[in-house]
Amino acid sequence: MNRFNKIINTEKKRLYKLQNPNLFTKYVMILANNSKSISIKPIDITFFCIFTIVGAYYHEIVFSLLQNFYLIILNPLKFIEVYLYPILVSFGLISLYGSLREYDFTFFSTDKFNKK
Amino acid sequence: MQSDKEIVDLCLNDGIHHFEKIIKSYNNYVFGVMMRITAGNIHFSEDLTQMAFLRAMKYLNSYDSSRELKTWLVQIAINCFKNEIKTINKYIDLEDISEQQVYENKDDDFFNMIKPLSSTERIIFTLKYVYDYKNEDIAKSLAMNINTIKSIIKRALVKLK
């Protein structure tokens, strides 16, 4: 039992240190900061409503576009000619949504780094 | 000097960037526990320490401030160790880790002594004898029955004789 106690006492005195604790700390913080997060902003809800309303109002165009989507391969020029405006309007709305989302305040977020 | 509770409150109310202070305070402590439990596997211990802090950051909301922070961190690190063993079967035997072993390795070394013990026995044995944890604290940390802890300690001591 003396040998057992000796080993335990030696082990208790032994200090283990990370090779580079400061780098380790920074690395962990960077990893935590880069973790994926989900957030819902008021702009998301607003644009969800806008897309729903616009989609419902012009549902005939949406269904027609989906039904004739094969034209994009068979006859791309015809497809662009017929659906140019709906496609441009959709891209415009998506671009506007994307740019506004960057500037809007956060409504809900799982990202803890957003709290300041 | 801020207390652990104050830092945790700051993390929760002002942003998780304050957690850096906790990592700086306890990284070597958690790493030390992992080194002993993994029988000196430095890289695995570093990975586990890193995982433990990341998980602690994620679940900081559930931290009970009546408990000691370092005990909570060790508990998380041990859970990470158990999960890693279970899922990836990443555990490396003492023979395999000898090349990675940086610390002095004498014949009467602690790592050699705990060689015959299973991972659970190592955890309990280390906490009990090296860190002087009470049986109740170990039971609480590992979510096990106190009688199970006692019997595991007994079994470990028999193996070491």
ipTM value, please give it.
Answer: 0.77
Contact A39, A115 (CB under 8 A): no
More confident residue, B104 or A10: A10
Residues of B in contact with A6 (CB under 8 A): 108
Q: B25 — contact with chain A (CB < 8 Å)? A: no
What pairs with residue A109 in β-bridges?
A: A39
Q: A8 — contact with chain B (CB < 8 Å)? A: yes
Fold of B4-104: Rna Polymerase Sigma Factor; Chain: A (1.10.1740)
- Closest-CA residue of chain B to A24: B50
| All CATH 1.10.1740.10 domain ranges in chain B, comma separated | 4-104
Report CB contact under 8 Å: B20, A29: yes
Q: What is the mean pLDDT of residues B149-158?
A: 92
What span, in angstroms and rounded, lies between the C-alpha atoms of B142 and B120? 10
- Closest-CA residue of chain A to B110: A7
- What is the CB neighbour count within 10 angstroms for residue B36? 23
Q: Which helix (H) or strand (E) holds B24?
A: helix B19-37
Say what the pLDDT of residue A115 is. Answer: 47
Task: Give the CA count within 13 Å in the CB-facing half-sphere of A106.
Answer: 12
Contact B144, B123 (CB under 8 A): no
- What is the CB neighbour count within 10 angstroms for residue A90? 16
Fold of B116-161: Arc Repressor Mutant, subunit A (1.10.10)
Report CB contact under 8 Å: A21, B28: yes
Say what the pLDDT of residue A105 is. Answer: 61
| All CATH 1.10.10.10 domain ranges in chain B, comma separated | 116-161
Residue B91: pLDDT over 70: no
- Minimal Cβ distance to B31: which of A3, A16, A113: A16
